[in-house]
Amino acid sequence: MHATLKKSYKIALVQMKSSTIKSENLKLSVDYIQQAAKKKVELVCFPEFQMVYSPPEQTAMELSTIAENAINGNFISTLRKEAKRHRIKVIATIYENMDTKGKKKIDHRVSDTAIIISDRGDELSIYRKLHLYDALGFKESTKLIGGDKIERPVKVGIGKIGMMICYDIRFPEMSRILTLAGADVLAIPSGWVQGIMKEEHWQIMLKARAIENGCYVIAPDQV
C-alpha cells in the first residue's frame, strides 16, 4: 500500500485547550479557521472534545443538554458557514445527541462524533467513535454511546481520508480496514489522557499506524 497524494497540500492541525463552555470553544474554532485560511491552508483538523470538555463529575444528562444534532446543530452549522466562506475543508468534533425517533429519551448518553466538512460547507462524512475509553480508571461508556460502523474513506482533495478518534488508534485492525478501503490518510482527532509513558505510547502508535499501512496520519490533540 502506498499513499498517492498531491505534491503540495497544506494542512493545519489545531491543538487547542477546550473549556467547559461551548460558546467559547466555538468562537476559538472560528478564529482558528480564519487564521488557517489566511495562511492558504486547504484542510484544518480539530482535536477531540473541540465542542466542549466534559469533566469527570459531569453527568450524562448534563452533557446531553450541551450536545447537538450532527447535521443542523448550531456548532456544526457555524463551522459549515465558515468553511464555505473561507473555501476551506474542516474536520470537526462534537458531542452528538442520537436520534430517538420521537421517543422520550431515557438513555442520556451521547456520541463522540467527527465530521468532515467540504469547502462548500457540505458534510462529507460523519463518524461516531467506535472504541470507548473504558480503561485505567476511566469509563467513557457512562456518558457516551459507541458507534456501530467504520465509515468508508472520503475524497478530500489531499486524497481519501479515513476517520478514527483517539482510543481507536489502539486497535490496528481499524486502520487496516480503512486503508484497504482506499484511505491515503488517517485522521485521528484526539484528547489523549496524560500519564506515565502516555506521550511515548501516543507517538509510537501514530508512527506504527502510518508505517504498517503505508499512509499518512493527521492527529491533532488537546493541549
| Residues labelled catalytic | 48, 129, 166
Bridge partners, 44 (sequence order): 12, 90
Q: Which three cell numbers stand for residue 135?
A: 480503561
Let me know: does 50 contact 33? Beta carbons within 8 Å. Answer: no
3-state secondary structure of 35: helix
Write out the E strands in the chain. 11-13, 43-45, 89-96, 111-117, 123-128, 154-155, 160-163, 185-187, 216-218
User: What sign results for the dihedral spanned by CA atoms 163, 218, 140, 202?
Assistant: positive
Cα 64 to Cα 58, 127, 142, 176: the distances in Å are 10, 18, 12, 33
Q: Which three cell numbers stand for residue 15?
A: 491543538
